[in-house]
Amino acid sequence: MRHVTAVLLACFLITLGASAAEPIALFNGKDMSGWYGYVKGKGKGVDPKGVFGVKDGMLRISGEEWGALTTEKEFSNYKLTLTYAWGGKVWPPREKTARDSGLVLHATGTDGVYADSWMNGLQCNMIEGGTGDISILGKDPAYTFSSPCVERPASGKAGWYYKPNAPEKVFTLGGRLLWSAKSPEWTNTLGFRSEADPEYPVGKFNSLVSVCKGDSVTITLNGTPMSAASGLKKTRGKIQFQSEGAELLIKAMVLEPLD
């Protein structure tokens, strides 16, 4: 009996240790260790204009050229907490449109496979007035998801807004789930904000949390639940940020394993 009890205790302690994996700092505050850049028309690691780099202890994506900043490793089952702010710089041809980037989760495929800029993936959109929308990046039909949502007017058309306990809708290539309280008057204009937007003004840091567990993803911005997706077929991949015409500053990025 003592032997059995000891074995059970050992198994419990092993299980407890496995579930308490240490958080991983994906940005060390000094350099781009663990990351690489890809610039449209130039390729991986060729970045003469310094689109991707570290400045004043922050990871900086200038936005001047289209491309992506991507992790060397793949991840699954994690909570990612991103501390970011929009910088003041915007670039042609998008100097008058909403500041735009994107957090791509479960990114797969070759670098630049989509628009010679990005990988395929599930995108948590980062755009003024629309941060927290979920869409599919690329043309891989394996990226589909479902979400409870309702159809309402959206920018002169109709859109699907996240709403817990509503009927589920399946989203495929080209589909976009709008965050729950996104303004129906949203326009793609620089500095767009509505009273409901939880995202802070340019220069002030936000907390964007993505929980990727099994076949589901939930997005929270500054403590406000924004959107959620489930039924994912792709549940593992790299983490990627888009460079798409606007300066993005990242102060911290912590990944907590959920395995």
In order along its 259 residues, the chain shows pLDDT tens digits of: 444 444 444 444 344 444 458 999 999 999 999 999 999 999 999 999 999 999 999 999 999 999 999 999 999 999 999 999 999 999 999 999 999 999 999 999 999 999 999 999 999 999 999 999 999 999 999 999 999 999 999 999 999 999 999 999 999 999 999 999 999 999 999 999 999 999 999 999 999 999 999 999 999 999 999 999 999 999 999 999 999 999 999 999 999 999 8
Please tell me the predicted confidence (pLDDT) of residue 111. Answer: 98
Please tell me the predicted confidence (pLDDT) of residue 220. Answer: 98
Which CATH architecture best describes the domain 24-257? Answer: Sandwich (2.60)
| Residue 17 backbone dihedrals phi, psi, to 5 degrees | -65, -40
Please tell me the predicted confidence (pLDDT) of residue 20. Answer: 57
- How far apart (Å, rounded) are the C-alpha atoms in residues 210 and 134? 11
Taking the model in full, what pTM does it have? 0.91
What confidence tens digit (pLDDT) does each residue in 167-209 have? 999 999 999 999 999 999 999 999 999 999 999 999 999 999 9
Q: Ramachandran region of residue 7, left (φ > 0), alpha (ψ -120 to 50) or beta?
A: alpha
Q: How far is CA 131 from the centre of its chain?
A: 9
- Host H or E run for residue 83: strand 78-90
**In the beta sheet, which residues pair with residue 136?**
122
